[in-house]
């Protein structure tokens, strides 16, 4: 069985054989979708580790410090690797630079600001489910901009995932140790804003890949743009952290979050380069299930898990299975 889609690596091959004229449509084996799904599943684990690390670190630390450390971890790992592995031909075009810079500012910078602030304000187990509405935004944008095809199976899988994480959010809020009435209403909008921004990012990344730019190079551009933007923002606010500010016990959790986030980015972008946005993004949103398991095992003082959460989380897993089966 074959699947019609647009893939960067195949476009590069076609350009090499057809004198640089990119194809309008390409045909690939469906196992590319399953590879993308598998990578997305591992990326979901990395997201969960990142979320809980930020949760522990910001319990007594600042969101801005966490984001600075995570961004520098991304820069330290990704930019040197891209510079060495693809020297001297980085396959960069003007369009790919614009696409990856936009992805960095939209998702890596502003998306993370809302996301980390949400984790600090309302907790990881509540933020993750609300952020998991991202597949709806990502799929809609991918259909409108990239022309991706969404089947009934895709829709069923996405709805199951969204229903599961919505119920997880409701149960978590109802049983949280803190009184939900003490949470400002605007705080619940933070993970939803993050979901919207994260939902736009994959389409921007796909536009960059379509120019033939490699995954690592695209990530390097995206990370550099986000880091520069955030440092300029902190400088404008006169709030740049000093070395002394980062010499705390919280920094080790920020470093773990940075390592997990870097692994997530690599897995996520490779998955996007071989599969559709509408396959990769919803599977990554199974991360609330992993957050719940890790919270139950290691963070019982900060996060609470009930049997209903386990039942609702099964909907997330079922949605991921359905989505993958119909990829």
The pLDDT tens digits of the residues spanning 65-123 come to 999 999 999 999 999 999 999 999 999 999 999 999 999 999 889 998 898 888 878 77
CB 226, CB 166: distance < 8 Å: no
Residue 163 in this model has a pLDDT that exceeds 70: yes
> pLDDT at position 303, please?
55
- Helices 277-284 + 31-57 axis angle, to 10: 40
Torsion, Cα of 255, 259, 265, 271 (10° steps): -160
Q: What is the average pLDDT across 286-309?
A: 69
Supply 156's token pair: 């069923």
Average of per-residue pLDDT values in the chain? 79
Return the pLDDT at 301: 57
pLDDT digits (tens, 9 = 90+) for 180-226: 445 555 677 888 889 889 889 888 988 998 999 999 999 999 999 99
Give yes or no for residue 30 having a pLDDT over 60. no
Which strand (E) or helix (H) includes residue 313? helix 307-325
Domain borders along the chain are 30-325
**Given a cut of 70, is residue 169 above it in pLDDT?**
no
- Cα distance between residue 206 and residue 115, in whole Å: 22
Looking at residue 300, its pLDDT comes to 60
Looking at residues 252-272, what average pLDDT do you find?
Answer: 92
The listed range with the strongest mean pLDDT (56-60, 74-78, 267-271, 313-317) is 74-78
């Amino acid at each position: 069985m074959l699947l019609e889609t647009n893939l960067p690596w195949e476009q590069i091959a076609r350009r090499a054989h057809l004198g640089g004229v990119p194809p309008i449509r390409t045909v690939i084996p469906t196992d590319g979708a399953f590879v993308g799904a598998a990578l997305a599943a591992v990326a979901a684990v990395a997201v969960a580790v990142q979320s809980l690390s930020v949760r522990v670190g910001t319990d007594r630390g600042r969101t801005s410090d966490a984001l600075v450390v995570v961004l520098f971890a991304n820069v330290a790992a990704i930019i040197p690797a891209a510079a060495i592995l693809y020297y001297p031909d980085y396959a960069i075009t003007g369009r790919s630079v614009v696409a990856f810079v936009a992805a960095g500012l939209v998702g890596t910078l502003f998306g993370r600001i809302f996301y980390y602030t949400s984790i600090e304000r309302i907790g990881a187990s509540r933020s993750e489910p609300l952020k998991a509405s991202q597949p709806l935004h990502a799929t809609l944008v991918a259909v409108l901009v990239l022309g991706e095809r969404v089947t009934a199976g895709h829709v069923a899988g996405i709805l199951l995932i969204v229903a599961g994480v919505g119920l997880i959010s409701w149960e978590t809020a109802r049983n949280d140790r803190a009184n939900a009435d003490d949470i400002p209403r605007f705080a619940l909008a933070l993970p939803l804003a993050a979901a919207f921004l994260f939902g736009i990012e994959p389409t921007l990344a796909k536009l960059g890949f379509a120019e033939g730019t490699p995954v690592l190079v695209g990530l390097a551009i995206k990370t550099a743009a986000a880091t520069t933007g955030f440092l300029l923002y902190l400088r404008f606010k006169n709030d740049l952290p000093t070395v002394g500010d980062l010499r705390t016990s919280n920094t080790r959790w920020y470093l773990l979050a940075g390592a997990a986030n870097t692994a997530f980015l690599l897995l996520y972008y490779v998955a996007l380069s071989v599969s559709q946005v509408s396959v990769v993004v919803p599977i990554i949103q199974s991360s609330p299930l992993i957050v719940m398991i890790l919270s139950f095992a290691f963070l019982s003082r900060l996060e609470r898990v009930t049997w209903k959460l386990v039942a609702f989380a099964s909907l997330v897993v079922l949605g991921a299975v359905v989505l993958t089966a119909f990829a």
